[in-house]
Structure formats: C-alpha cells, structure tokens
Amino acid sequence: IYAVSLQFVTVGSNQVNFSEAGSLFFSHMWYMPMIIGMYLSMPFVASALKHFDKKTIFQALVVFSLLAFVMPFITTIFDMEGIKNVTIQYSLGFSGGVYGIYIILGYLVKKGMFKDISKAKLWILAIISFIICLGFQYYAFTKGYDFFLWYEFPFILLGSFALFELCSRMKSVRFYSGVKVLSKYSFAVFLIHNLFRLPLLPLVVMIPVTEPLKAIILWILLIILSFSAAAIIYRIPRFGKYILYMR
C-alpha cells in the first residue's frame, strides 16, 4: 500500500528523493524493530519471571525505572533551564529499555500486585499524570524548548499504569459492540493514517483558526478518512482483511 501510494503521489515529479520520501511515509513504523524484538524475547522472559517473587521483580523494576524515567526527566528539566550535561552514563538497551519496563509493569498488574490500591487513588494518579504531561509540554513550548512527550516521560508511565490497572478490574465493557468495532479497525487506522496526514497537514495549517482547533480538525478528518479507507479495504474479497491485519 505504501509503495503504491509513494509512486502515486510522486507522479509528474522529476526530482524525488525516494529515501527521504520513504522515511516520511514510514515515520510511524519506528516501533516495528522494538516490538518484534519484544515478541521474540517474550517467551524467554515469561519463563524466567516464573522463578522470581513478584516483590523481587517490583524492586528491580523500581531501580530500572529510576534510571529509565526519572534520570532523563531530571536531565530535561536542567537542560530547559540552561544547565547542560546533568546526567549519568548507563544503558538499559539489553533489558528492553523503557518498553521492557512497560511490559513487566503490565505483567505485575495482571498478577494482582497492585490490587490493594483503591480506584479513587488510581483515578487521582491518572488525572494528575495527565495534567502534568499537558502542563510540562506547554511549559516547554512557552520556553521555546524542543521537547515532546515520549514513552520515557515518567508521568506517561504512571498515568498509563493507573488506567491499565483500572481497566483490568472491569468486569464488563460498556457499549461493547462499539468498542469491538473500534478495536478491530484501530491498528489498520494506525497503519494507513499517514497516507492522509501528509497531504492534509499543509491544508489544515492554512485554516485561519487557533493551533489547538487545527489539531482537532486534523484529528477528525484523519479518523473519518482512515476508518473509511480501512473499512473499504477490509471488504476486498478473499484477502482484504489480511492486508491491514484485521480478522
């Protein structure tokens, strides 16, 4: 799909850097090497975890989290204030890095490690984490600092943990039929949304409204177009549902 689309959008262009164009089209595929590595290592990690107590795993997780989340956060704060190179040298790559921590934390959630934490506290943690994420991104923007939220931001970890713990306690899902449809098409939408985002972005930027409203407009257009395209592709006879990994 991307190869055909790349050829389509470059029709009539004499000078096209296909390497750069390909990187632009596939920019949202950054996670593929990481997630493939996770899938390959998961059976071995799962087997190893069975031999450790949950508390021991949690203690190791805290230490790794301090290095993977807290240290970069502190470094970023100092860097924003003009104090450079406040960091220590370490590498968590062989342990899966921040992504490995998310997986292990999810494992502990499913094992009931945090079941004694009340729902009220989890909701408070999720809301506060969201507010801090929003506020920190806005603060960086006002200072003209080049920063964007990523998985290593500690309050993304805390907020996602709180939401995952809350969701894991749900006995049933409201509006299940609608949620089922969204979940069925969600990965397909992710795969193809870039095809619409790239041509739409220059057009939406020109709309004479505020930046947040532009973002909302772009989001709505991407949802409508991507879901529509995914639904059409899914209905291609025989192999349509396999193109975008839908079942």
Q: How many residues does the chain have?
A: 247
3-state secondary structure the chain: CHHHHHHHHCCCCCCCCHHHHHHHHCHHHCCHHHHHHHHHHHHHHHHHHCCCCHHHHHHHHHHHHHHHHHHHHHHHHHHHCCCCCCCCCCCCHHHCHHHHHHHHHHHHHHCCCCCCCCHHHHHHHHHHHHHHHHHHHHHHHHCCCCCCCCCCCHHHHHHHHHHHHHHHCCCCCCCHHHHHHHHHHHHHHHHHHHHHHHHHHHHHHCCCCCHHHHHHHHHHHHHHHHHHHHHHHHCCCCCHHHHCCCC
In the chain, where are the structural domains located? Answer: 52-171, 174-247
Please say whether the beta carbons of 87 and 71 come within 8 A. yes
Residue 16, pLDDT score: 47
Q: If pLDDT is split at 50, 70 and 90, which confidence band does 197 have?
A: confident
Helical pair 176-205 and 2-9, crossing angle rounded to 10 deg: 20
Residue 197: count other Cβ atoms within 10 Å of its Cβ. Answer: 18
Torsion of CA 34, 40, 43, 49, to 10 degrees: -30
Please say whether the beta carbons of 240 and 234 come within 8 A. yes
When the pLDDT of each residue in the chain is averaged and rounded to a whole number, the result is 82
Six-digit token pair at 158? 């805390």
**CB-based contacts of 80, cutoff 8 Å, min separation 6:** 139, 140, 143, 145, 147
Asked if the model's pLDDT at residue 10 lies above 70, the reply is: no
* pTM (two decimals): 0.74
Asked if the model's pLDDT at residue 110 lies above 60, the reply is: yes
Please say whether the beta carbons of 108 and 57 come within 8 A. yes
Please say whether the beta carbons of 198 and 24 come within 8 A. yes
Six-digit token pair at 230? 């995914």
- Region 200-218: mean pLDDT is 88
**CB-based contacts of 47, cutoff 8 Å, min separation 6:** none
Asked if the model's pLDDT at residue 193 lies above 70, the reply is: yes
Asked if the model's pLDDT at residue 45 lies above 90, the reply is: no
- Region 118-135: mean pLDDT is 94
Burial of 191 by CB count in 10 Å (0-12 exposed, 13-18 middle, 19+ buried)? buried
